[in-house]
Amino acid sequence: MVRILLADDHDIVRRGVRNLIETRGGWEICGEAANGLQAVEMAERAKPDVAILDYFMPELNGLDATRRILTKVPTVQALIFSEHDGEALIRDALQAGARGFLLKRDAEDQLLDAISTLALARPYFTARVSEAMLSAFTGQAEPAPQLTPRERETVHFIAEGLSNKRIAWQMQVSVKTIETHRATAMRKLGLRSMAELVRYAVRNKLVEA
């Protein structure tokens, strides 16, 4: 029996993934979480074999949740589930300890293969993700700016049009912390306006155009 933890803040996404998983005999969802903190708590309690974690979640993003889960349950195979596949996102996922990275739009065709592979303790990456990784490794792509996951998450929410207060609530930090993340990100990227920050987010697939 392969035990699977599913963490995503959108009910419709969890339902869709659950329906796919339930078509496979011998698998079960041992827990569902709507945010990163819940995912960590459930993983510690349920000890899943595979954890499917949305990249952007409230309270604790998928990367931070992955780090905490692996600290508590090192045997978990973490799959980052994302709407975007920028090289910086993939790199951060690997550094956090994820063993797989899958775009949500590829879930119907590839999610079951991803879970099967991870259940055997083998890494899983789609051809698109593998190409991005190879491109970055060989220096064929522009180097990704060195934003921290929290800075990148802040940029994502800013580009989505959320206020500092709303972002602070989503990330469970103070407004001052969000302002610091924003200022630091803009300094690192050499940006001077919010419009430039939004364009950066779109160009690097941190948000939909």
In terms of residue numbers, what domain contains 67?
A: 2-138
Token output for 155: 């940029």
23 & 90 share domain: yes
Final residue of a structural domain among 113, 138, 163:
138
Give Cα separations from 170 to 30, 104, 124, 157, 164 (angstroms): 26, 21, 30, 9, 10
Whole-number pLDDT of residue 139: 54
Whole-number pLDDT of residue 199: 83
The answer to whether 53 touches 39, Cβ cutoff 8 Å, is yes
Domain holding 193: CATH number?
1.10.10.10
181 & 123 share domain: no
Whole-number pLDDT of residue 203: 77
Tell the residue number behind the tokens 């996951």, with chain if given: 149
Task: Report the distance separating Cα 145 and Cα 9, nearest Å.
Answer: 27
Look up the pTM and report it.
0.70
93 & 61 share domain: yes
Whole-number pLDDT of residue 25: 87
Whole-number pLDDT of residue 123: 92
Domain holding 127: CATH number?
3.40.50.2300
Tell me the residue ranges of DSSP E strands in 68-142.
Answer: 77-82, 100-103, 124-125
Whole-number pLDDT of residue 136: 57
Q: Which residues of the chain have pLDDT under 70?
A: 128, 131-145, 208-209
Domain count, the chain: 2
81 & 123 share domain: yes
Whole-number pLDDT of residue 91: 79
Report pLDDT digits (tens) over 131-186: 666 665 555 444 555 788 889 889 989 988 899 999 999 888 999 999 999 999 98
Pairing of β 124-125 and β 100-103: parallel
